[in-house]
Chains A and B, each alone.
Chain A
Amino acid sequence: MIMFKGLISIFLAGILTENFLLSKFLGICSFLGVSKKLNTSVGMSAAVILVMLISTAVTWPIYMYILMPLGFDYLETVVFIIIIAALVQLIELLLRKFMPPLYNSLGIYLPLITTNCAILGITTLVIDNTLDPMTNYGFAESMTSAFGSGIGFLVAMVLFSGVRQKMETCDIPKFLQGLPITLIAASLLAVSFFGFQGLVDGMLG
């Protein structure tokens, strides 16, 4: 029961208080680039969730059972990025062969994901949390953290695409048009996420 509680709090923290986009600034390129429409936001987020889960499931055991015991932990960054790049290619091939409908909706986002910092970010972060005696994640916690962060990514993308669709009909001063007003809107969205501060601890504490 205690473990279950821990998992829920990790999951909720990933969505609300430690949102990848709005408080950790990971994956901002795609946040600004493809959040113009609701369907592209959802597609991109779904691809991110898929790759986050699969790459965490692969990199965590590799780090804990191969790199660490052999003393190669300084190769973490190199090994992880190569694994992620290979995985993304593999997922793309498999989807194209076996699930064409899913490939048609997610396929175009996959090439963007290799260099998305959210993916390398989550794999590095769960390793840091595993080695940290304060948090001491296991495999289950790491996967929950990856899933929660992915859902958090989705929530922020969907909310922001709504904001941007409203913004299209607004009369914006010329020098603020485009990127500046988008960033300022993101700033206000990030402020609203501060409202969740303490919620997770308060609910389960």
Chain B
Amino acid sequence: MRKGYGKELTKGILKENPVFRLVLGTCPTLAVSTSAMSALGMGAAATIVLICSNLAISACRKIIPDKVRIPAYITIIAGFVSVVQLLVKAFVPEIDKALGIYLPLIVVNCIILGRAEAFANKNPIIPSMLDGLGMGIGFTAALLAMGIIRELLGAGTVFNLPVTINFMDPIIIFILAPGGFFVYGILVAIVNKMTKGKKAELGCGGCGGCPMSSACSKISKGESGSDDNV
């Protein structure tokens, strides 16, 4: 192994954590972190898709014309998502039930398209796969952290094992929609506090990795421009 491969693997876990630092993939993060188990299932599914699509896109990077690259990426990603979806349905139907429509929606998860655009189309196969693995682990870790907190507070269990359920009533709102926004907000605030000075940018406006960032920044420029750095 050459030096530098380790860096591709580890950067996604903390320094460029896709969920807390780059603010990508917010929809699945909020939606499936109601329990630790479904968070882990989502993380694993997205990681597999991320590694495979990075591999395929990196291998095809010289063949795909620049103009149609985004549709090409989406098609490649959708193919792998369908494979993962069929595998999950066949072997772990309970995870399929917990994830619902969020499993096919991995296709439009900006983490995957974002990594394809920012990394895999410029780098050889092995670093791209490691990048995918690292980002996947970072995504899974963030989801798992949210899943554990929400399940513990909202249901009194972790991985369906009773923790506090026997001596106090769970705060059900944490496994409902508002709890998702709240826990995510607090966790981003904590990460901000720990890496003080460097603010996490908001939405797609700030993330250079997102292929949609140019369109996004055009919109924020259209706004009077007084509050570019929200």
Binding site for B on A (CB under 8 A): 22-30, 32-34, 36-37, 40, 44, 74-78, 81-82, 85, 108-109, 111-112, 114-117, 120-121, 124-125, 128, 168, 175-184, 186-188, 190-191, 193-194
Residue in A closest to B79 when the chains form the complex, CB atoms: A78
Q: Which residues of A contact B216 (CB under 8 A)?
A: 33-34, 112
A82-B71, A85-B71, A183-B182 known; A37+B101 contact, CB < 8 A: no
The docked-state distance in angstroms from the alpha carbon of A28 to that of B104 is 17
Which of A32, A76, A177, A181 contacts B203 (CB under 8 A)? A32
Interfacial residues, chain B to chain A (CB-CB below 8 A): 23, 26-28, 30-31, 70-71, 74-75, 78-79, 81-82, 85-86, 101, 104-105, 107-110, 113, 173, 176-182, 184-186, 188-189, 192-193, 196, 199-205, 211-212, 215-216, 218-220, 222-224, 227, 229-230
A82-B108 contact, Cβ under 8 Å, with A34-B219, A112-B212, A180-B186:
no
With A and B bound together, what is the CA distance between A181 and B202 in angstroms?
Answer: 11
Chain B residue numbers with a CB within 8 Å of A186 are: 181, 185
Residue of A nearest to B71 (CB): A85
| Complex contact A183–B188 (CB within 8 A) | yes
Q: Is the CB of A120 within 8 A of B178?
A: no
Q: Which residues of A contact B181 (CB under 8 A)?
A: 183-184, 186-187, 190
Chain B residues in 8 Å Cβ range of A22: 177
User: Is there an interface contact between B177 and A26, defined as CB atoms closer than 8 Å?
Assistant: no
Q: Is the CB of A115 within 8 A of B101?
A: no
Is there an interface contact between A36 and B230, defined as CB atoms closer than 8 Å?
yes
- A134, B108: Cα distance in complex, Å: 28
A-B contact pairs, 19 of them (CB 8 A): A32-B203, A33-B204, A34-B220, A36-B220, A44-B219, A74-B86, A76-B82, A77-B104, A81-B108, A117-B27, A121-B101, A175-B196, A176-B185, A176-B189, A178-B229, A178-B230, A182-B202, A184-B185, A186-B185
Neighbouring A residues of B101 by C-beta, 8 Å: 121, 124-125, 128
Also in contact, A25 and B30, with CB within 8 A (given A117-B105, A117-B108): yes
Label chain B's interface by main secondary structure: helix
Given known contacts A78-B79, A81-B74, A180-B189, is B203 in contact with A33 (CB within 8 Å)?
yes
Considering the chains assembled together, what is the distance between the CA atoms of A54 and B23 in angstroms?
30
Known A178-B230, A194-B178; judge A108-B107 contact (CB<8 A). no
Not counting A115-B110, A178-B202, a sample of 4 additional A-B residue pairs whose C-beta atoms are within 8 angstroms of each other reads A29-B26, A112-B216, A114-B74, A187-B185
CA A25 to CA B28, docked complex, whole Å: 8
Interfacial chain A residues near B82, Cβ < 8 Å:
74-78
Contacts A85-B71, A125-B101; is A111 near B215 (CB within 8 Å)?
yes
Q: In whole angstroms, what is the CA distance A179 to B222 when docked?
A: 21
Residues of B within 8 A of A36 (CB): 220, 223, 227, 230
Residues of B within 8 A of A121 (CB): 101, 105
